[in-house]
């Protein structure tokens, strides 16, 4: 079964196309016109081993909010679509990721019950050209569109770049583990309800 998807979202604020392959090799082509966001999405692809192509054009002359949020929506929708009926996936995963002085934990349930817990404090207002408050917006949009219960907690750290990068890397490892198909249950939905 191919676990690939394409999503196109066009609004008055953004025009975003995304392609994902959940069983890829971590190859990426990312262009949101936001340098730091591109860097984070490249990390997400590389460490999740999900092939991601995401090309965005947005109203960045106003600010970066719409492009950031909508890229989370589109990528979440693409991953949800590619996961299909979710039969056989491990569903739950957690990752504890260090980056120099920083330690971050991400836990998830691919439950089709989206919810975000965000316990990440940052000492600066901008990383590159991005307002740091936009990172929560990206994770919120992603978790809602992907149908994922997502807990993101920075346990400690000083450098804001390291903190955010560890959040994306922990998300990557958690996605990689939760979306993995367990051969013992490859045709079984991982729920006692019989539905996700």
d(CA 191, CA 91) in angstroms, rounded, equals 9
Q: For the chain, how long is the longest CA-to-CA vector?
A: 51
Q: Where are the beta strands (DSSP E) in 70-184?
A: 92-99, 102-109, 115-119, 126-127, 130-131, 149-156
Only one residue has tokens 């860097």, namely: 39
- In a domain? residue 193: no
Encode the chain (196 residues) as per-residue pLDDT tens digits. Answer: 799 999 999 999 999 999 999 999 999 999 999 999 999 999 999 999 999 999 999 999 999 999 999 999 999 999 999 999 999 999 999 999 999 999 999 999 999 999 999 999 999 999 999 999 999 999 999 999 999 999 999 999 999 999 999 999 999 999 999 999 999 998 888 888 888 8
Q: Is residue 190 part of a domain?
A: no
Rounded to whole angstroms, how far apart are CA atoms 130 and 134? 7
130 belongs to a structural domain: yes
Structure tokens at 96: 């504890």
Q: How far is CA 29 from CA 1, 81, 138, 145, in A?
A: 24, 19, 18, 21
> pTM higher than 0.95, yes or no?
yes
Q: State which residues form the domain around 57.
A: 4-185
Q: Is residue 15 part of a domain?
A: yes
Give the CATH number, domain containing residue 80.
3.30.230.40
Residue 167 lies in a domain: yes
3-class state of residue 87 by DSSP? coil
């Amino acid at each position: 079964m191919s676990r690939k998807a394409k999503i196109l979202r066009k609004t008055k604020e953004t025009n975003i196309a995304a392609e994902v392959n959940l069983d890829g090799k971590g190859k990426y082509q990312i262009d949101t016109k936001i340098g730091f966001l591109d860097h984070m999405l490249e990390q997400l692809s590389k460490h999740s081993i999900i092939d991601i192509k995401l090309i965005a054009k947005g109203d960045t002359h106003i600010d970066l909010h719409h492009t950031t949020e909508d890229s989370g929506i589109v990528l979440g929708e693409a991953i949800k679509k590619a996961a299909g009926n979710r039969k056989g996936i491990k569903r739950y995963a957690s990752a504890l990721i260090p980056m120099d002085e920083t330690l971050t934990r991400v836990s998830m349930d691919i439950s089709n019950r989206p919810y975000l817990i965000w316990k990440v404090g940052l000492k600066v207002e901008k990383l590159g050209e991005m307002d740091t408050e936009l990172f929560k917006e990206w994770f919120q949009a992603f978790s809602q569109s992907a149908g994922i219960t997502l807990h993101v907690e920075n346990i400690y750290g000083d450098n804001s770049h390291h903190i955010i990068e560890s959040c994306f890397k922990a998300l990557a490892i958690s996605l990689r583990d939760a979306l993995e198909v367990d051969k013992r249950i490859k045709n079984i939905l991982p729920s006692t309800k019989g539905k996700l």
